[in-house]
Amino acid sequence: MIIRKQPDLRYSDVSPKEVYLNRRRFLAASASAVAAGALARPALANTKLDFVKGQPQFIATDKVSDVRAIEGYNNFYEFGTGKDEPSRYAPRWKVPSPWQVRIDGPGAGKPQTIDLDAIMKVAPLEERIYRMRCVEAWSVVVPWIGYSLSNLIKRAEPNSKFKYVAFQSYYDSKAMLSPREAGIAFPYVEGLRQDEAMHPLTLLTVGVFGETLPNQNGAPLRIVVPWKYGFKSIKSLAKISLVENMPPTTWNIANAREYGFYSNVNPEVDHPRWSQATEERLGELSRRKTLKFNGYGDQVASMYAFMDLRKNY
């Protein structure tokens, strides 16, 4: 896995709640952000969304991270292997319209192709404030907007062959890095076990900070699995397959020793090249202890009670 030097960005200012809920007000009030150059965003990414507040179990009590940290410091290898590169290069990509997602596989009783407009109407949109933990030992707190992925999967009328979900991202060879440049295969693929995919915390995500997703955050549609390392939360989702067997995943293909299928946040299991016991919360000066399951143990630990999470990392 390619890891580059952290860019010279400041994350010391954390936006207060009344400010982050209105991005335009935040950007207008932040002269320093303007002086440094506000993040470029495609025209469609400024669309406001109608949403309700998520239920208490979906709201982390941590302070929400600065918008510049969330939109300017990303892992999105299709647009660059450095953390600052997706925010510079992804906005140039023209998101295909209409955006369509294929739902198929032997576990889908009703395979279908559904466009983004229909996806947005499957269930009411909620704002959910989730902690997100990256395998490189940094974290952020993000106000995502979406609804539980299970709502969309149910439309495909799952049958007894549905044991796992395989995800595939969109890949545009003309606008994105080549596999050789990125060091991983494209299109990006990921997967979850059935119970993980159907868990209410697993979010089908269409927005952040009250608006549609910026390209660098996975526009126009992504998955967010908050108790797992960030690379499990696939961006620019194009295909969902309900399958019988554990599907291949991009980072496990690239380096199985370092990136297991489950990839649950576990401070007791170190990455081969660094400790996972502590993390850097962007915007804080000191490191903090990593929480098992990223702090979502009460909700998800029971799914792994029968597993050795040192072997099933």
Report d(CA 190, CA 288) in Å as an integer. Answer: 28
Write the CATH number of the domain with boundaries 17-304: 3.90.420.10
Query: How does pLDDT run across 185-242, given as a tens digit for each residue?
Result: 999 999 999 999 999 999 999 999 999 999 999 999 999 999 999 999 999 999 999 9
Which tokens go with 279? Answer: 């993390």
Contact 172, 253 (CB under 8 A): no
Mean pLDDT of the chain: 88
Q: How many CA atoms lie within 13 A of 10 on its CB side?
A: 11
Q: Is 207 left (phi over 0), alpha (psi -120 to 50) or beta?
A: beta
Contact 221, 206 (CB under 8 A): yes
251: how many CB neighbours lie within 10 A of its CB? Answer: 22
Which tokens go with 42? Answer: 């495609």
Contact 62, 141 (CB under 8 A): yes
E strands along 59-185, which residues?
100-104, 112-115, 126-133, 138-148, 164-169
Strands in 100-104's sheet, in edge-to-edge order, are 112-115, 100-104, 237-243, 164-169, 189-193
Amino acid 207: pLDDT: 98
Q: How many CA atoms lie within 13 A of 101 on its CB side?
A: 27
Q: Look at the alpha carbons of 197, 199, 201, 204 in this order and tell me if their dihedral is positive or negative.
A: positive
pLDDT at 87 over 80: yes
Amino acid 63: pLDDT: 95
Question: Which tops the pLDDT comparison, 43 or 312?
Answer: 312
pLDDT at 95 over 60: yes
Contact 49, 211 (CB under 8 A): yes
Spatial CA neighbour of 75 closest among 301, 233, 202: 233
Amino acid 164: pLDDT: 98
pLDDT at 264 over 60: yes
pLDDT bin (cut points 50, 70, 90) of residue 57 is confident
Amino acid 222: pLDDT: 98
270-300: buried (b, 16+ CB within 10 Å) or exposed (e) per residue?
ebeeeebeebbbbbeeeeeebbbbbbbeebb
Query: How does pLDDT run across 9-38, given as a tens digit for each residue?
Result: 333 333 443 444 444 333 333 333 333 333
